């Protein structure tokens, strides 16, 4: 192997090693841990909207009442990661939130667990159109996946 190629390979391996030790949350295809932050625990992927729709004042949007689920992805130094989000809506307002964790390592479990433990206080009682979280209970990267899932839920609930 030429010296310049060898240096590139070693630098890549060192970067991967560092990335694995630095950051939080990575996905797991084998483990799904539902975390309830209120209401019944469920891992359903299907939406169960009711027949009635609610209009949100000033926004011109309307959402069907019901419970909706979506997975959101986000990128960390460990790669692409996933978090499951279930929102219950009534009159366009979040009445319940549940997070399904997809940890593949102890850091992922830690950060997604902290996020799941703190998200209800930031979103329950708010209009779905107002939801955009940045950092929850020390977890900043998981928020990206949560926000992506909320966008999917908004589309499905309209």
Answer yes or no: is pLDDT of 58 > 70. no
Which structural domain range is residue 29 located in? 23-157
Number of compact structural domains in the chain = 1
- Cα angle for residues 26, 40, 94 (degrees, 5° grid): 75
Tell me what pLDDT residue 1 has. Answer: 53
Going 52 to 44 to 110 to 79, the CA torsion angle's sign is negative
pLDDT in tens, 32-44: 444 444 443 333 3
State what percent of residues in the chain have pLDDT above 90: 51
Please tell me the distance from the alpha carbon of residue 92 to that of residue 149, in angstroms, as a whole number: 16
């Amino acid at each position: 192997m030429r010296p310049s190629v060898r240096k590139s390979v070693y630098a890549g391996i060192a970067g991967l090693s560092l990335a694995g030790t630095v950051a939080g949350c990575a996905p797991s295809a084998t483990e799904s841990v539902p975390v309830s932050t209120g209401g019944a625990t469920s891992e359903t992927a299907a939406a169960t909207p009711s027949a009635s729709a609610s209009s949100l004042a000033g926004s011109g949007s309307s959402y069907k009442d019901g419970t909706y689920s979506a997975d959101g992805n986000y990128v960390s130094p460990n790669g692409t990661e996933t978090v499951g989000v279930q929102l219950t809506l009534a009159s366009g307002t979040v009445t319940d939130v549940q997070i399904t964790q997809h940890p593949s390592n102890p850091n992922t479990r830690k950060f997604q667990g902290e996020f799941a433990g703190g998200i209800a206080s930031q979103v329950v009682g708010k209009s779905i159109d107002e939801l955009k979280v940045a950092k929850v209970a020390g977890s900043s990267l998981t928020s990206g996946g949560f926000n992506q899932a909320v966008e999917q839920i908004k589309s499905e609930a309209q």
